[in-house]
Structure 1
Amino acid sequence: MFGSFESHPTHKTIKALGLPTLFILLLSLSCFGHLVKAYVLIYAGCSQEKYAPNSPFEGNLNSFLSSVVSSSSQVSYDAYALGNGSSTPPEGAIYGLYQCRGDLPMFECSRCMQSAVKQIGLVCSNSYGASVQLEGCYLRYEHSNFLGSPDTTLMFKKCSRSVNNDVEFFKRRDDVLADLQSAIGFKVSSSGLVEGFSQCLGDLSSSDCSACLSDAVAKLKSLCGSAAAAGVYLGQCYARYWASGYYAELTPESSHEDDVGKTVAIIVGVLAGVVVLIVLLSVCRKTKPIVPTHKTIKALGLPTLFILLLSLSCFGHLVKAYVLIYAGCSQEKYAPNSPFEGNLNSFLSSVVSSSSQVSYNAYALGNGSSTPPEGAIYGLYQCRGDLPMFECSRCMQSAVKQIGLVCSNSYGASVQLEGCYLRYEHSNFLGSPDTTLMFKKCSRSVNNDVEFFKRRDDVLADLQSAIGFKVSSSGLVEGFSQCLGDLSSSDCSACLSDAVAKLKSLCGSAAAAGVYLGQCYARYWASGYYAELTPGAIHILDNPI
């Protein structure tokens, strides 16, 4: 039913762009590759049958695509059935779904789906059925109902170069594939230098998902043999693995025939590399640096400090999630080798392990009859809702290290990082509402800007309605809010109402502001002011939380 589609550049395209424009394009792709990779087209399929312009089907298709764009800023999966009621002609019925990759932040999910909607219109114009699989998201619609029906049709495969006689690689690969095969939804796995991920569509049952992934893993081995990297996409699931350094080989191939285009691309790439180095050094010299003391410089040495500053300036998107916003430590200390310390170590170990799979979890350890009362520990962790799972895991590893350094031997402690939160206590706090002000940050004020205040109030009103994590924007003002996962809907709503009220009362006309309460937070910023929400210094709260 479906035909495949691939797009690739030609030498005419390169010639039309010109070297200066092409260089800027290459520079953009180099610097912002993590933003555009999600939109790379892997495959597309279109039905042969076409619908008529201005038909009932076209009207419902437009409604479906509009709903996809709107919904994907809030949830990463949704399914639709439109025009299948008695009041609509049978030829108008449409069934569809979309899904983003499980580690894609919500704002990237939304952008990916916007790209998918555009591409499905270009590639499968007027088709009664179509699907597009991008690197970061999937979109499909049909005239007949396919939702929930198992489909293990091979849609696309990609195999890299082979690895021969590497026993360790094959062992690690098989460990990863065995782990991926057990996924329910989205799963990331790694073993040594081999990594991988797998995902089923949200309309599949657990048993059908398991069957689909088993088939995908079997096809990976049979079709790609000893490949160092491979990916298989079936009708309702996919699985991919790669050895370190081979991930890029899973990108769909461009034309093998366009030798002139490739030659020009190589020349431009070399030139771009030289200029990028010059621009990078120039930009980093002009960037306002973190101001170290003479003692810091002397201890690190100038070469090491330069590399550190270069890393912080040019790769900030990787480290921002780990910035410490505040920490709180109880005054009471536990004794070394006590039952409490043993349970605390178990809790922290579980947090590191669990955070690679789920973004929130709560724990109660040592509260049974077989454990001394002084050994009881209650805790939770949560990652910001737009953080990919691999970044969630790394953020929690950082939080675990920082809570041990900042609150050593404390009976109760919490750390709030830019991308995640970690807390434990000796007494049970789980589910109990807490609107204590933990931290606030207000930027410079904006005066007499009626449009700004209107946009800000629109964003705050929207953030106040969040259940869990929410992103909102109005004009040039953006924001996000989040409640901890142990709160009920009503308690979350009350917490966010308090946070928004404090934002207005404590920060007034600030162009950017953030308020963190005990169990929720809310932040907003005008375009260009987000950086002003970074704490000026680490905030340590030396009192019980």
Structure 2
Amino acid sequence: MDSTLKLFFVLSQTLLLLSQFSKASDYNNLVYKNCSSQTLAGSNESHSKSLHSLFQELVPQSSKSKFFKATAGDDPSAAVSGFFQCRGDLSNKDCFDCVNTLPDLSNSLCNKAVAGRIQLHGCYFYYETDEFIVDDETSKHDLIHKVCGQKAKDSSFEGQRDKAFEAMESGVIDGKGFYSGDYESVHAMAQCEGDLIDCDCGECVSNAVQIAQEECVGSVSGQIYLDRCFISYSYFPHGSGPSGASGNSDNKKSSGGDSNTGKTVAIVLGGVAALALGFIFLSFLRSCGDKDSIW
């Protein structure tokens, strides 16, 4: 039976690691990129070095802070300023893991752009090249990106959603820029940029709510991203969303990539669990057979 116990321990650890991978992979999924149309002409070696130096300063900070700004670059003509922000409900480890994926994504998605924003489900990164005036007339309250989920068969849930929005609008100010909570069957979340003052944060979230009500009419889930804040909501008609399920509740039914990741990991977990039970059962039968042979 010693071998059976060892096998059970190994399989249980495997299940634990796979569940943690599922959670982390959701945080690190790309939501959108917003790269400036203004690009660097010719060689961008100095810019690349400055951006690399910026990440070297930002990434270590993500293990102890949810928001951090910095400027890097010895050459004033190639200096780069930027910041990262993690969702308020992430652990320090999840924040670090999320931010640690951003350097490669930034290089591949916004190569040579003088400014860019990479938004993942768990964190985002923004940078701009100091020498350039970025041609961006986007207001901090203008819509940058939206994701609306499938339409509900019955729009009566929107009453619950609006009540959740009301709680979120006051809660995000009380929560110093972050809110995650439930109203009946609706989970809502909001976050403002880390250095946004309370009144501006409240105004930004209120604008996002109005956009959600106009753009995601009848949708059971939605994500609204403005320049300085974002909101999300999810409706769980059968109580399938646990209270405070902020981990990934805003991702459900709003991005096919997240749904597929969850399904794949669920299949793997189910397969491993079935193999574990089968192996333990066979080992039990074998041990019983050995006892019978002794007698």
Shared fold by TM > 0.5? Answer: yes
What CA distance in whole angstroms lies between the structure 2 residues aligned with 1:252 and 1:152? Answer: 27
Question: How far apart are residue 175 of structure 1 and its match?
Answer: 1.2
Relative to 1, partners in 2 of residues 1:53 and 1:203: Cα closer, same or farther, differing over 3 Å?
farther
Specify the alignment match of 2:86 in structure 1.
Answer: 100
SS of 2:253's partner is: helix
Tell me whether 1:215 sits opposite 2:207 in the alignment: yes
Residue 118 of structure 1 deviates from its aligned partner by 1.4
Q: 2: CA distance between counterparts of 1:166 and 1:248? A: 18
Asked if 1 retains the 8 angstrom alpha-carbon contact of 2:67 and 2:194, the reply is: yes
**Which residue, out of 275, 278, 281, partners 1:282?**
275
Distance change >3 Å, CA 150–CA 102, structure 1 → 2: farther
What do the CA deviations read for 1:89-129 (whole angstroms, capped 9, x no partner)?
3x223221100000111011011001122111111112211
Deviation of 1:281 after TM superposition, in Å, equals 3.1
Report the counterpart of residue 237 of structure 1 in structure 2. Answer: 229
Q: Tell me how far 1:73 sits from its aligned partner.
A: 1.1
Are residue 122 (structure 1) and residue 104 (structure 2) matched?
no
Amino acid at match of 1:239: I
- Distance (whole Å) between structure 2 residues aligned to residue 232 and residue 111 of structure 1: 24
Inter-CA distance 38–238: structure 2 relative to 1 (3 Å threshold): same
Partner residue of 1:226 out of 211, 218, 233: 218
Unaligned runs of 5+ in 1: 1-27, 255-261, 288-545
Task: Specify the alignment match of 2:180 in structure 1.
Answer: 188
Query: Aligned partner of 2:165: which letter?
Result: L
Deviation, 1:150, is 6.2
Residues 1:131 and 2:123 aligned together: no
Quote the Cα distance in structure 2 between the aligned partners of 1:216 and 1:55.
38
Q: Distance in 2 between matches of 1:252 and 1:186?
A: 26
Q: How far has the Cα of 1:30 moved from its partner?
A: 6.8
Residues 157-196 of structure 1: pairs in structure 2 closer than 5 A: 157-167=146-156, 169-182=157-170, 183-184=172-173, 185-196=177-188
Q: Separation in 2 of the partners of 1:284 and 1:66?
A: 46
1:210 Cα deviation from its structure 2 partner: 1.1
**Partner of residue 250 from structure 1, selected from 241, 250, 254:** 254
1:70 to 60, 64, 67: 60
Q: 3-state DSSP class of the match of 2:97? A: helix
TM-score normalised to structure 1 length:
0.40
Judge conservation of contact 1:42–1:252 (CA < 8 Å) in 2: no
| CA distance in structure 1 between the aligned counterparts of 2:143 and 2:24, rounded to whole angstroms | 28
The structure number with the bigger radius of gyration is 1
Structure that is richer in helix per residue: 2
Q: Is the 8 A contact 1:55 1:92 kept in 2?
A: no
Q: Displacement, 1:286?
A: 6.8
Q: Kindly tell me: are residues 229 and 93 of structure 1, through their superposed partners in 2, closer, same or farther at Cα, counting changes over 3 Å?
A: same
Please say if residues 82 and 95 of structure 1, whose CA atoms lie closer than 8 Å, have aligned partners that are also in contact: yes
Q: CA 1:276/1:158 → structure 2, altered by over 3 Å: closer, same or farther? A: same
Is the 8 Å Cα contact of residues 189 and 231 (structure 2) preserved in structure 1? yes
| Counterpart for residue 60 of structure 1 | 50
Cα shift at 1:232: 0.6
User: 2:277 and 2:209 mapped to 1: Cα distance?
Assistant: 45
TM-score by length of 2: 0.72
SS in 1 for 2:27: helix
* Residue 209 (structure 1) shift: 1.0
What does 1:347-386 correspond to in 2, within 5 Å? none
The structural deviation recorded for 1:219 is: 0.4
Q: Structure 1 residues 228, 60: closer, same or farther in 2, change over 3 A?
A: same
Q: Secondary structure at the match of 1:204?
A: coil
- The superposition leaves residues 311-336 of structure 1 with CA deviations (integer Å, 9 ceiling, x where unpaired) of xxxxxxxxxxxxxxxxxxxxxxxxxx
Classify the secondary structure of the residue corresponding to 1:59. helix
CA distance in 2, matches of 1:129, 1:174: 35
Q: Does 1:198 align with 2:190?
A: yes
Q: CA deviation at 1:54?
A: 5.7
Selected match of 1:81 from 71, 85, 92: 71
Q: Structure 1 counterpart of 2:23, which letter?
A: H
Instruction: Indicate the SS of the match to 1:238.
Output: strand
What displacement does 1:285 show?
7.0
Is the Cα contact below 8 Å between 2:57 and 2:70 reproduced in 1? Answer: no
Q: CA deviation at 1:172?
A: 1.6
